Amino acid sequence: MAKRIESHQNRIFKWVKSLSLKKNRDKEGVFVAEGLRFISEIPNEWCVKLFIVSEDFAKGQDISTYEKKAETYIVSDELFTLVSDTESPQGILAVCKKQEQPDETIWKKEAPFFILAEELNDPGNLGTVIRTADAAGVDGIFLSKGSVDVYNAKVLRATMGSIFHVPIVQNVLLEDVASKMKENHISLYAAHLRGENFPYELPLDKACSFLIGNEARGLSDKGASLCDCWVKIPMPGQAESLNASMAAGLLMYEVVRQRLK
């Protein structure tokens, strides 16, 4: 049975609210998933610590599926807005355990396909990269130190739940991941203004990975030097560059296209 939380001074309520800060999410190893669609993406086996639903939500929905999965708390609509990150909350959130670190098996797949990002800072961009990677069947995403936190509410929202599907490793050193790629014969590509090969010419049916640069600064020289090949995304129009997540999506989907055959 669901329990009620009556006050914003309640210990559990305060704990959930504290998770809007990265340092608290890091310490507790959890994050907040909000909204019906997002929560419907939580896999059965995923560890959920608790649910919070608003009174209004509990009136309109059968909440017994939530109660069976984890401790469920009902709060007034007013309290819910205090703990919600969105402007028009749907009245349901879940505190979920973070992803496990992916184990060595991700390196052992046949023709694995990875994304690396160097200091990707915009939450919307990172979320879109994760969602697109999930659609494209990417085997893992590596984020360098200095990237925005995957469990930031805006990132999560833009993933539309794909956070539950794609293995993600945060705070990596690019050199380490690049060495690991080399060791496992996985080509590392990056879009670069001085790139000479169109993505359509690359053997992307083979093991491959793409390094994405920061939105404003692009790839660092160090990042660029780690790549096996620079790729040129054609721009027959007048724009001189693409949004970082768009460039990443176009490259991921060239892999999809080549592997369809």
Question: Footprint of a copy of itself on this chain (CB under 8 A)?
Answer: 124, 128, 131-138, 158, 160-162, 165-166, 198, 200, 233-239, 241-243, 245-246, 249-250, 253, 256-257, 259-260
User: Please, which residue, 101 or 238, has the CB nearer to a copy of itself?
Assistant: 238
User: Please, which residue, 119 or 254, has the CB nearer to a copy of itself?
Assistant: 254
One-letter amino acid for residue 61 of the chain: Q
- List, in sequence order, every residue forming a beta bridge with 168; answer none if it has no partner: 141
Task: For the CB of residue 132, give the shortest distance to a copy of itself in the complex, in Å.
Answer: 6
User: Please, which residue, 72 or 162, has the CB nearer to a copy of itself?
Assistant: 162
Q: Which residue has the tokens 């690359």?
A: 202
What's 214's DSSP letter? B
Task: For the CB of residue 45, give the shortest distance to a copy of itself in the complex, in Å.
Answer: 14
Nearest partner of 97 among 3, 194, 25, judged by Cα: 25
One-letter amino acid for residue 83 of the chain: V
Q: Reduced to 3 DSSP states, what percent helix, strand and coil does the chain have, rounded to the nearest 5?
A: 40, 20, 40
Task: For the CB of residue 138, give the shortest distance to a copy of itself in the complex, in Å.
Answer: 7
User: Please, which residue, 17 or 259, has the CB nearer to a copy of itself?
Assistant: 259
Q: How far apart are CA 56 and CA 63, in angstroms?
A: 12
Residue 9 neighbours by CB distance under 10 Å:
8
Q: Give the distance, in angstroms, between the CA of residue 176 and the centroid of all CA atoms in the same chain.
A: 21
Task: For the CB of residue 6, give the shortest distance to a copy of itself in the complex, in Å.
Answer: 34
Nearest partner of 91 among 59, 114, 117, judged by Cα: 59
Q: How far apart are CA 114 and CA 190, in angstroms?
A: 12
User: Please, which residue, 224 or 242, has the CB nearer to a copy of itself?
Assistant: 242
Task: For the CB of residue 182, give the shortest distance to a copy of itself in the complex, in Å.
Answer: 26
Task: For the CB of residue 10, give the shortest distance to a copy of itself in the complex, in Å.
Answer: 33
User: Please, which residue, 15 or 164, has the CB nearer to a copy of itself?
Assistant: 164
